[in-house]
Amino acid sequence: MWIVGNKNTNEILNNGFASHNKTLTQSELDAFKARIKTKFAERNNLQEGDISAYWINYNLNPSSDHARILSGDEFTAVWSNNEIVGVDFTVEDTKGWIKFESNKNNIEGDGVDETIITLTVYESNKSTIKTSLSTVNPKLVPVQTPNGIIKAAMSVTNGVGQLVFKKINDLPLGRYVFPAKDKYLWGYRVWEYTEIDVYFNML
């Protein structure tokens, strides 16, 4: 995996791309780096000498930096002597977490039976509730439904929000996922999702 940056601004020019997973010889590495510098210099109207290219060897580092970048973790480049020499995940590791829970995961689709969805926002340590977070206006939560994505409005007070959920109007029977599965919500990492199955009781 290559991380490419602009030496003039220390800007990362790509978010990491995997070219192959084999171990490169030094001559292969040098040739590949030269091609990357040419490509990114042309693409960004720079000189090749303005480009720094850093190689992360998957075989030597398969489960940390390489995997985290591929999974979408935010990172910054570590620079030394005007060259990228590593990556740092502090910006990702200091993000808070959002956890969704419900008091029951199966409800009858009669418009009466209901469940309470609770979201809790935590600091990065996953144990301290972010009590400083209170919303002035409700925030939207994407919800995966059997027919696609809908948005639910939830207010947060002292790091906690609740929503009463039941089948209303034209909502279909089936599974609902709070929030729709994504890595982030409102800039926080999603810790846990909750799934609600809405069923029809034939008895």
Per-domain boundaries in the chain: 2-92, 97-199
pTM: 0.80
Helix ranges (H only) for 2-105 are 26-43, 65-70, 90-93
- Residue 18 pLDDT greater than 80, yes or no: no
Q: Which of 175, 144, 140 is nearest to 161 (CA)?
A: 140
CA dihedral 33, 37, 43, 44 (to 10 degrees): 130
Q: What is the pLDDT of residues 21-41, one digit of tens each?
A: 566 788 988 998 999 999 999
- What average pLDDT does range 53-73 have in this prediction? 78
**pLDDT level of residue 87 (50, 70, 90 thresholds):** very high
- Residue 100 pLDDT greater than 90, yes or no: yes
d(CA 135, CA 159): 9
- Return the pLDDT at 91: 95
Partners of 121 in the beta sheet? 98
Q: What is the pLDDT of residues 140-179, one digit of tens each?
A: 999 999 999 999 999 999 999 999 999 988 889 999 999 9
**pLDDT level of residue 84 (50, 70, 90 thresholds):** very high
Task: Give me the chain's average pLDDT, please.
Answer: 91
Q: What is the pLDDT of residues 170-202, one digit of tens each?
A: 889 999 999 998 899 999 999 999 999 999 876
- Residue 63 pLDDT greater than 90, yes or no: no
Token duo for residue 200:
């029809």
d(CA 109, CA 63): 44
Share of the chain above pLDDT 90, in %: 77
Please provide residue 30's backbone torsions phi and psi, each rounded to the nearest 5 degrees: -65, -40
- Residue 123 pLDDT greater than 90, yes or no: yes
Token duo for residue 13:
């020019």
Rounded (to 5) percent helix, strand, coil in the chain:
15, 40, 45
How wide is the angle at C-alpha 83 spanned by C-alphas 80 and 87, nearest 5°?
A: 75
Contacts of 56 (CB under 8 A, 6+ apart): 1, 2, 3, 16, 65, 66, 69, 87
Token duo for residue 195:
């799934």
Task: Please name the fold of domain 97-199.
Answer: Immunoglobulin-like (2.60.40)
- Return the pLDDT at 72: 87
- What average pLDDT does range 3-28 have in this prediction? 81
Q: Which of 138, 141, 147 is nearest to 172 (CA)?
A: 147
